Amino acid sequence: MRTAALLSLALVPSLATADVLSSFDHLLGDSRPDYDPAQLEAREVDSGRDFAPFSPGDSDLGVQEILGEYKGLPPVRLELSTGLYWTDNAPAATRQLDDESWFWTGRAAVSWQPRIGPGWFADLGLDASFFEFDDGNATDFQNYVVYAGAVKLLPDLHDLLLFGRFEYQFLSFDNGVFGLGGSDDYSAARVRVGAQKVLFNTPHHHLSAGISAAFDLAADDSTLQRNEYALDVHYTWFIVDKLSATVSYRGAFWDFDSPTGVLPFYTEDRQDFNQLVGLELAYHPCKSSKIYTSVFFSDSNSNTPLGANDSQSWTAGLGVGAVFEF
């Protein structure tokens, strides 16, 4: 894999600029948001007018209406996590500098999902992640995502969940060598829609799956503007009350809007296929916190010549996270 990348860099200097999408994708998380139908269902406040069954006393008392309990606005949800990881393919300015490295990561995310109608919820949030690498050649960066959209829960279809949201993503690099669109940073605005379904749920086993499609409206570098079509599957085994194991899979197809490269290494219609497989073992001291260890394998295959945007990586480490609601 790296031999092909080195050859392409030697033959075509213009390809030496790192592709932020294929270089950083394995560090940026899932391709779709992850909603908990149980949390949304708990916020259903008087979703409709329910009436008591007919009784002879109705002629005197009138039709009896059942009043739902008003639970108030949902809390703001704050998620914090940090971890120490090792990867065999830390992203650098050029492919020949990619190497193994330890790195620290931290994440802070805040979200709010107030009910806006029967089965409808607004979806507002901000997510910030930070990556600091031990290897001097690796690129430290920060990833920010702000989003606004709506979620629809369909109880009649066994809690099928539909979502749509507008996202703005901004990546900031510390070493200033990428030169994308005349800037050291990268940003993209997109619309993401999809569906999520709990397929199986028992006290010890939980299986869910989701599909999504994301359409870039604009990107800093026009050659990196793309559409994404993804499938996500998550299976969790609750071994005991405070210990769980999760296996996850993500497959994403990227269809780029613009051609890339220069002759004779020109790609008329760039298409990438990315896969991410993960295993996590988590200990939950309490409901709102966890200590976990995880290992992930990422594989990205592109039709760009000489494998210039292909990559593979292993990532493993330890982390701790907590959720606060207020």
- What pLDDT, in 10s, does the model give residues 215-238? 999 988 777 889 999 999 999 999
What does pTM read for this prediction? 0.81
166 or 72, greater pLDDT: 166
Q: How far apart are CA 19 and CA 164, in angstroms?
A: 27
Report residue 162 as tokens: 């539909």
Q: How much is the mean pLDDT over the chain?
A: 81
pLDDT at residue number 224: 84
**pLDDT of 75 higher than 70:** yes
Q: How far apart are CA 87 and CA 279, in angstroms?
A: 15
Domain count, the chain: 1
**pLDDT of 177 higher than 70:** no
95-131 residue pLDDT tens: 666 689 999 999 999 999 999 988 899 999 999 999 9
**pLDDT of 135 higher than 70:** yes
Q: Is 250 within 8 Å of 29 (Cβ atoms)?
A: no
283 or 135, greater pLDDT: 283
191-223 residue pLDDT tens: 999 999 999 999 899 999 999 999 999 988 777
Least confident of 20-24, 77-81, 199-203: 20-24
175 or 2, greater pLDDT: 175
Residue 22, number of CB atoms within 10 A of its CB: 23
Report residue 287 as tokens: 């409901």
pLDDT at residue number 95: 63
**pLDDT of 3 higher than 70:** no
Q: How far apart are CA 271 and CA 103, in angstroms?
A: 30
Q: How far apart are CA 257 and CA 268, in angstroms?
A: 10
DSSP state of 235: E
23-58 residue pLDDT tens: 888 888 777 888 888 778 755 444 444 444 445 544
Report residue 297 as tokens: 């394998």
85 or 63, greater pLDDT: 85
Structural domain boundaries, residue 33: 2-325
286 or 3, greater pLDDT: 286
pLDDT at residue number 257: 85
Closest CA to 309 of 41, 53, 25, 112: 25
Share of residues in the chain with pLDDT > 70 (%): 77
Q: What's the CATH number where 77 sits?
A: 2.40.160.40
